[in-house]
Amino acid sequence: MTLADVLAAIVFVALNAYAVLGGADFGGGVWDLLALGPRKERQRELVAEAIGPVWEANHVWLILAIVLLFTCFPPAFARLGTLLHIPLSLVLIGIVLRGSAFTFWRYGADQEQRRWGVVFAIASLMTPLLLGTTAGAIASGAVGGGGQPGGDFYDTYVAPWLTPFALSVGLFALVAFAFLAAVYLTLEARERELQEDFRRRALASGAGLFLAAGLALLLALTGAPRVRDGLIFAAWAVPLHLLTAAAAVTALAALWVRHWRVARVAAVMQVSLILWGWALSQYPYVLPPDLTIAAAAAPDVTLRLALGTLAVGAAVLVPSLRYLFHVFKSSPQP
Amino acid sequence: MPDLLAARSQMAVSLAFHIVFAVIGIAMPVMMVLAERRWQVTGHAIYLDLAKRWAKGTAILFAVGAVSGTVLSFELGLLWPRFMALAGPIIGMPFSLEGFAFFTEAIFLGVYLYGWDRISSRAHLWAGVAVAVSGAASGIFVVIANAWMNAPTGFELVSGQLVNVDPIAAMANAAALSQTIHMTLAAYAATGFAVAGIHAFLLLRDPANAFHRRALEIALMVGAPAAVLQPISGDLSARHIAAHQPMKLAAAEALFRTQAAAPLALGGWPDVAARETRFAVEVPYALSLLAFHDPHAVVKGLDLVPESEWPNVPAVHLSFQIMVAAGTYLALVALWAGWLAWRRADLAHNRWLMRAIALATPVGFVAVEAGWMVTELGRQPWAIYGVLKTADAVTSMPGLMVPFFTFTLLYCFLGVIVAWLLYRHIIRSPVVPEWRGFYMPPGSGT
């Protein structure tokens, strides 16, 4: 394993963290939009309370991934920014609307809060869909082709991501985030009835996740041959599938018998394993079919310093985060 | 609209928007900590109210700034992929450090906002200090990356290939010190005077209002010293660009002809076609004196390079004049207020001073934006000075007018709403100096 591989893995860890932490915040927005029944307002309040103290910190994982990507793998960043300009711009608009809507929602007056909630919820749908579509476009090997785009506008800037496979990955991301959020919310809820509301939602979206994953796999047969081959023929494929399946079944079973903590761990495992399956299937490429990790890597000195910076950063952050959790988890609730 | 212009405009709008939040995010935590300290020492509830209001302001602006900062990090790749492909390995490091500083700021802001009743008052104050320090650090790291674009170093280009990359040397570039000092002072001066100005305006109507009087004191404590120091730091910057980026200085001063004993042009309008600056007041020897501390020094003019490599001279000159005028105004008001405070006069009852401070509300931010224009427009046509032209850095994606207008609209909308929220939560006077504990039970998190 080279230094570049290590940094590529760290970028992916950051993305994984963003998916299971920030992704769940997006999923919260989905449940805000789909709030139903007699406890509608309490469901929305619970979503807001759960996201409130953590969403900025969760958001930093995305920034970390982006910064590491352009520091350590600049050609990959440049190509993504060029060929996936449209979906990434839409993701950005979604992030802006969602983040600000949430801020205004938190600090605005009561009568405006509902309106902000709508913006928040719509942005929460759009962003995961397009983020997943972007990932799907990368996995399908469409973000390649020698760097300099030359063809007509549609072929160069739209065709790579507007494919059934890429869109199915978008759908998968949306359902996965909603599932994670529902699972976490069963733990956050203090009242029995709310817990039951989110248990039902978690079970439904967990089942939906199977369907979305099946659809994406089906479309991968023609849409993303590399992913398909990786997921079927590689040496790690069978153990990975078994682990993922075990995590998925555990998550649903734990929800069924109301072991919320077990369900949370299993759900995180499940989503993370799917992400790592994607990463492994396209290794050693950052952007298949032609840009490898080694070819995209910055000079060694940059990689070493990036690693050093991460170590220093962790040395500051880990105690700070521990302190944050110490303050808010150990003292009694007021 | 040509794509290059659209891309530059989108970047300019994004930065112009973000810089306001970044600047307030650097300075407002300092005011918040000072107010809390005063509360701990004096026990006056007004100070606690102020600390909580400023903390809330910091939180609102931090959240929006986090979002607009994310937009910028993406836009580097969406608009300038060829710049990033070259610069990423060299200046990625300050961006990574900024990321960690930002993370630290987020954590301690969380502790500060939600920890009033949970940690000792001493620990709480230190959490505020951590917010202020990490806020300043993240600003400094980003400005270091920008300084590298002005004074690129720490790499060699051999037939288009990067060799001998040295990110540490790149961070220690020649412009880093003068730019980071200038920008950090600007943040304190602009925010301090903006807050002081708002309270001064309200004091004009109600000079006895204790809430506004205390707020004014603390805001001036942050803004005034920075405003007084800023001209000295400006001198350092001017001497740096005179030596390293002579065309930026030439454009800022609208100096078309290289000359010894160069005069300083105050105001005026550069007529690029005629190669002269009309209607300016010229102070003999002053430019040579300012740029090199020698009245007879030769100052390089725009005639040294072909016109195709000039920045937009009228825009840079105008921005520079605005920045200097705004900075001078703040420094003078700061000295005036400082002198009155020294003589133990009652500032709030000095109506002329209150008018002058109220007028200063937007002035610091005007100076920040104008100064940013000077450094960015003055570097053109280069993205990386002497290395990569902006025209060669832009993306190949056509139709950039569409994202430009979309993002501009988005920012306008956000700006209006942020202003309204700030009014609601921070500026609006309390009827009685209220003590209403700002508290949200923290969810256990996702």
Domain ranges within chain A, ordered by starting residue: 3-298
pLDDT for residue B352: 94
Averaged confidence pLDDT in chain A: 84
Q: Judge whether residue A49 has pLDDT over 90.
A: no
* Residue B147 identity: A
Q: B89 preceded by cis ω (within 30°)?
A: no
Give the mean model confidence (pLDDT) for residues B76-96: 90
Q: Do the Cβ atoms of B77 and A78 come within 8 Å?
A: yes
Higher-pLDDT residue of B200, A39: B200
Q: Do the Cβ atoms of A99 and B64 come within 8 Å?
A: yes
Candidates A60, A131, A152: best to mutate against B (most CBs of B within 10 A) is A60
Which range has the worst mean pLDDT, A143-152, A200-209, B8-17, B33-42?
A143-152
Q: Do the Cβ atoms of A56 and B106 come within 8 Å?
A: yes
- Please tell me if residue B305 touches chain A, with a CB cutoff of 8 Å: no
- Please tell me if residue A49 touches chain B, with a CB cutoff of 8 Å: yes
Q: Do the Cβ atoms of B67 and A100 come within 8 Å?
A: yes
| Out of A75, A323, A334, closest to residue B117 by CB | A334
In chain A, residues with a C-beta closer than 8 Å to the C-beta of B99 are 60, 63-64, 67, 313
Higher-pLDDT residue of B151, A113: B151
Q: Judge whether residue B222 has pLDDT over 90.
A: yes
Residues 384-413 of B with CB under 8 A from A: 395-399, 403, 406-407, 410
For residue range B10-66, list pLDDT tens digits in order: 999 999 999 999 999 999 999 999 999 999 999 888 999 999 999 988 888 888 888
Of all residues in chain A, the one with the smallest CA distance to B101 is: A313
- Please tell me if residue A90 touches chain B, with a CB cutoff of 8 Å: no
Under DSSP, is residue B267 helix (H, G, I), strand (E, B) or coil?
Answer: coil
Q: Judge whether residue B445 has pLDDT over 50.
A: no
Under DSSP, is residue B366 helix (H, G, I), strand (E, B) or coil?
Answer: helix
CB A226 within 8 A of CB A288: yes
Percent of chain B surpassing pLDDT 90:
57
Candidates B96, B105, B126, B438: best to mutate against A (most CBs of A within 10 A) is B96
| Out of A53, A99, A320, closest to residue B104 by CB | A320
Residues 206-235 of A with CB under 8 A from B: none
Residues 150-169 of B with CB under 8 A from A: 162, 165-168
Q: Do the Cβ atoms of B443 and A53 come within 8 Å?
A: yes
> What is the crossing angle of helices B81-114 and A74-83, to 10°?
90
Planar angle of CA A126, A127, A133, nearest 5 degrees: 90
Candidates A18, A44, A327: best to mutate against B (most CBs of B within 10 A) is A327
Higher-pLDDT residue of A6, A143: A6
- Please tell me if residue B145 touches chain A, with a CB cutoff of 8 Å: no
User: Scanning the structure block, which residue is given the tokens 């490091």?
Assistant: B93
Query: Residue A131: pLDDT band by 50, 70, 90 thresholds?
Result: very high
CB B64 within 8 A of CB B20: no
* Residue B262 identity: A
Q: Do the Cβ atoms of B82 and A78 come within 8 Å?
A: yes
The encoded tokens of residue A67 equal: 């910064």
Q: How many angstroms separate the CA atoms of A134 and A167, rounded? A: 9
The number of beta carbons lying within 10 Å of the beta carbon of residue B80 is 23
> What is the crossing angle of helices A40-51 and A23-33, to 10°?
160
Q: Do the Cβ atoms of B414 and A313 come within 8 Å?
A: no
| Out of A67, A96, A104, closest to residue B71 by CB | A96
User: Scanning the structure block, which residue is given the tokens 């990689």?
Assistant: A303
Give the mean model confidence (pLDDT) for residues B115-122: 87
Q: Judge whether residue A158 has pLDDT over 60.
A: yes
The per-residue DSSP string of A13-57 comes to HHHHHIIIIIHHHHHHHHHHHT--STTHHHHHHHHHHHHTTTHHH
Query: Residue A114: pLDDT band by 50, 70, 90 thresholds?
Result: low
Q: How many angstroms separate the CA atoms of A131 and A142, rounded? A: 15
Give the mean model confidence (pLDDT) for residues B178-196: 96
pLDDT for residue A334: 39
Could you tell me which residues come within 8 angstroms of residue B298 by beta carbon, excluding any fewer than 6 positions away?
Answer: B258, B259, B260, B262, B288
- Please tell me if residue A33 touches chain B, with a CB cutoff of 8 Å: no
Give this complex's ipTM. 0.85
- Please tell me if residue B441 touches chain A, with a CB cutoff of 8 Å: yes
Helices vs. strands in chain A: H and E counts, helices first: 15, 2
Q: How many angstroms separate the CA atoms of A194 and A200, rounded? A: 10
- Please tell me if residue A50 touches chain B, with a CB cutoff of 8 Å: yes
Closest to B329 in 3D by CA, of B307, B350, B358: B358
| A13-27, A262-276, B324-338: which is most confident | B324-338
Q: How many angstroms separate the CA atoms of B298 and B306, rounded? A: 19
Q: Do the Cβ atoms of A59 and B66 come within 8 Å?
A: yes
Higher-pLDDT residue of B139, A60: B139
Q: How many angstroms separate the CA atoms of B397 and A157, rounded? A: 8
pLDDT for residue B299: 92
> What is the crossing angle of helices A164-188 and A192-223, to 10°?
160
Q: What is the CATH number assigned to the segment(s) A3-298?
A: 1.20.1630
- Please tell me if residue A64 touches chain B, with a CB cutoff of 8 Å: yes
DSSP B442: P
Q: What pTM does this model have?
A: 0.88
How many alpha carbons fall within 13 Å on the CB side of residue B176?
17
Q: Do the Cβ atoms of B85 and A77 come within 8 Å?
A: yes
In chain A, residues with a C-beta closer than 8 Å to the C-beta of B106 are 56-57, 60
The number of beta carbons lying within 10 Å of the beta carbon of residue B275 is 15
DSSP B425: I
